[in-house]
Structure 1
Amino acid sequence: MFPRYRLVGFCGLPGAPALGRLGTGAPGQRAAEVEKVAHRYAAGREPLPVLELLATVANASAGPDGTYRSRTPAATIRRFHRVARDRRALLLLNIQPGRAPVLDEVKALRDWLVHPDVGIALDPEWEMARGQVPGDTYGRTDGHELTEVARYLSGLVEAHDLPQKPLVFHQVATSVVHAQSALRPQPGVALIKSADGIGSPGLKRGTWQRLVHDLPDGLHTGFKLFYEEDARGSRLMTPEEVLALRPQPEYVMYE
């Protein structure tokens, strides 16, 4: 996947505009839009559009099974996968696990993950421990759990003779990922650490520098932008400014 491509995507869920760009308009319209944005980030690479669909969504209420999460219907995932395939894009299935075990949520998506153009994105700030409620505090993961997910994806890649599969984890603060040094790359999986966080260009550069400091070997970088929140009281960073970050982000995602 790298260094051939630069991934550029929109995230969200249909009918939920507050959760990202994919929450408004038809999936085909959003795919055409992100394709144009992706070309602004090429900078010597092949631009690869991404649709990052929320497949597991954290909730403020426990729900009938006490997991504080809900799953996106298969029909919605199928619709976005069809669009991604038609546009030669990647479909990333984003997981906000609530109190559900992360690997269980990944395994629940197996029927989609055996396709060559489907990967996983994790949002560990929504990964709650016992007694925690989504939205009240940041959740967390660690290098061991991320390695476990990567190992599962690696097994699918090998068993089904798939191309390298992306595994993204979004990180909003240093506290969200513990024991990062325990993260172990797995064959057939491209690990991408995406710097999250809302703010002005200066604030976002500061978050970037903290999160990419002392990166483990084999870990690629991503950068997240917010169309509305970043511009509130400031402005959205330009592609040129994002590409000037070091190391240069290999996945750029807009919410």
Structure 2
Amino acid sequence: MRKLQFPVIFALFCGMVACNGKSGNDSTPSSEENIKKEEVKIRKPVDQAGYDVLLQYIANDDTTGLWPVPDQPLPLEGAVLPYNRIVAYYGNLYSKNMGVLGEYPPDEVWRRLDKEVEAWKAADPNTPVLPAIHYIAVVAQGNAMKDGKWRFRMPAHQIDSALAIAKMRKALVFLDVQVGLSTVEEEIPQLEKYLLMPHVHLGIDPEFSMKDGTPPGKKIGTYDAKEINFCSEYLAELVRKNNLPPKILVIHRFTKGMLTNYKDIRLRPEVQIVINMDGFGRPELKYSTYERFIRPKPVQFTGFKLFYKNDVKQFPHHMLAPEELMKLRPRPVYIQYQ
């Protein structure tokens, strides 16, 4: 019996020696070495001084005291903003009426978007420009659908097509969600396999978030801070668990009621929040919307949407140029073309 027990005891002894790091075998990492490897994976906050300089730059001598947003947490390493400006094309591949992504084949999309990227580089040589594809992955519908949620989730092959278009320029991707009568709690987890990709970010559209059973499109919808906080915490958890660079959360806005209790929105090192001015019309109207609903209601960063068709319908038939938007206080760091 002792002979049968010996190999077991020997194995246990060898295991104990190895665990204590005393075996003399260099190929076996010690527990201390394992801890160091884990520490390497942890993303640290960015440099405070450099970050503050860039925040002051995009504040553009704002005198309200609202910009830059005070007491915001430092983002983790790998953050896109404010180190870059994002210039995105928006739309859905099924529809020519929802934006340029559905109007043109991929090569033409990039010919046009490349031109806009170069225009922004010229208007602001101090800020690198990153192109992006902003794809509507959940689309509000004019009928209830089988589950009564008034929204349609794009099939995986369509989302994959948007990713493939972005890959042509190694661009960022934003997946936009119009919940209809569904909720962000129900819809965002459906996109997790994409949001786990380091270059994929999230957009949510309050316009089509209906709270009282009204079908989308009949009136303007709304999100509350608690729904924004759900989205940002969901993204933050993905970042923490998977060692991802910070995610960006874009929230569209062009009325007061589209976003309630904005002061309760929580900022996190893992997520950067952009409030995107989404209204269309002549320049004076767009400036007014920015001054009423974006500038005086600071969250973290701002964006500005431009419409190739709707912005030029009325006199003076003029879509705002990068040089004009650079005069805004604060300067938008996310630009979206539809």
Instruction: Judge same fold: TM > 0.5, yes or no.
Output: yes
Residue 58 of structure 1 contacts residue 126 of structure 1 at CA under 8 Å; is this kept in 2?
A: yes
* 1:97 and 2:182 are equivalent in the alignment: no
* 1:223 and 2:311 are equivalent in the alignment: no
Counterpart of 1:184 in structure 2 is: 266
Which consecutive unaligned segments of at least 5 residues does structure 1 have?
Answer: none
Residue 295 of structure 2 contacts residue 329 of structure 2 at CA under 8 Å; is this kept in 1?
A: no
Counterpart of 2:331 in structure 1 is: 248
Task: Tell me the amino acid that sits aligned with residue 133 of structure 2.
Answer: L
- What is the root-mean-square deviation in Å for CA atoms of aligned residues? 1.3
Task: Tell me the amino acid that sits aligned with residue 12 of structure 1.
Answer: G
Q: Tell me how far 1:85 sits from its aligned partner.
A: 2.7
Counterpart of 2:249 in structure 1 is: 167
Distance in 1 separating the partners of 2:236 and 2:108: 32
> 1:103 aligns to what SS in structure 2?
helix
Residue 59 of structure 1 contacts residue 70 of structure 1 at CA under 8 Å; is this kept in 2?
A: yes
Counterpart of 1:37 in structure 2 is: 116
Task: Tell me the amino acid that sits aligned with residue 161 of structure 1.
Answer: N
Aligned residues: 254
Counterpart of 1:154 in structure 2 is: 236
Residue 142 of structure 1 contacts residue 178 of structure 1 at CA under 8 Å; is this kept in 2?
A: yes
Counterpart of 2:164 in structure 1 is: 82
1:232 to 305, 313, 323: 313
Residue 31 of structure 1 contacts residue 51 of structure 1 at CA under 8 Å; is this kept in 2?
A: no
Distance in 2 separating the partners of 1:70 and 1:15: 12
Residue 178 of structure 2 contacts residue 209 of structure 2 at CA under 8 Å; is this kept in 1?
A: yes
Task: Tell me the amino acid that sits aligned with residue 193 of structure 2.
Answer: D
1 or 2, which has the higher helix percentage?
Answer: 2
> 2:136 aligns to what SS in structure 1?
strand
1 or 2, which has the higher strand percentage?
Answer: 1
Q: TM-score, normalised by structure 1?
A: 0.96
1:119 to 201, 219, 228: 201
Residue 87 of structure 2 contacts residue 334 of structure 2 at CA under 8 Å; is this kept in 1?
A: yes
Residue 178 of structure 2 contacts residue 205 of structure 2 at CA under 8 Å; is this kept in 1?
A: yes
> 2:131 aligns to what SS in structure 1?
strand
Distance in 1 separating the partners of 2:145 and 2:129: 40
Q: Which moved more, 1:29-38 or 1:245-254?
A: 29-38
Distance in 1 separating the partners of 2:149 and 2:301: 31
Larger radius of gyration: 2
Note the 1:8-47 alignment, pairs <5 A.
8-42=87-121, 43=124, 44-47=126-129
Residue 144 of structure 2 contacts residue 151 of structure 2 at CA under 8 Å; is this kept in 1?
A: yes
| Structure 1 runs (4+) greater than 6 angstroms displaced | none
Task: Tell me the amino acid that sits aligned with residue 325 of structure 2.
Answer: V
Distance in 1 separating the partners of 2:335 and 2:200: 17
Task: Tell me the amino acid that sits aligned with residue 39 of structure 1.
Answer: E
Residue 204 of structure 2 contacts residue 250 of structure 2 at CA under 8 Å; is this kept in 1?
A: yes
Which consecutive unaligned segments of at least 5 residues does structure 2 have?
Answer: 1-79
CA offset digits 1:103-141 (Å, max 9, x no partner): 221110001000001000111110011321111000000
Counterpart of 2:210 in structure 1 is: 128
> 1:174 aligns to what SS in structure 2?
coil
Distance in 2 separating the partners of 1:39 and 1:145: 36
Task: Tell me the amino acid that sits aligned with residue 185 of structure 1.
Answer: L
CA offset digits 1:140-198 (Å, max 9, x no partner): 00111101100000000111111111100000211110000110112211100001111
Residue 27 of structure 1 contacts residue 80 of structure 1 at CA under 8 Å; is this kept in 2?
A: no
Distance in 2 separating the partners of 1:64 and 1:208: 38
Q: Tell me how far 1:253 sits from its aligned partner.
A: 0.3
Q: TM-score, normalised by structure 2?
A: 0.73
Residue 53 of structure 1 contacts residue 94 of structure 1 at CA under 8 Å; is this kept in 2?
A: yes
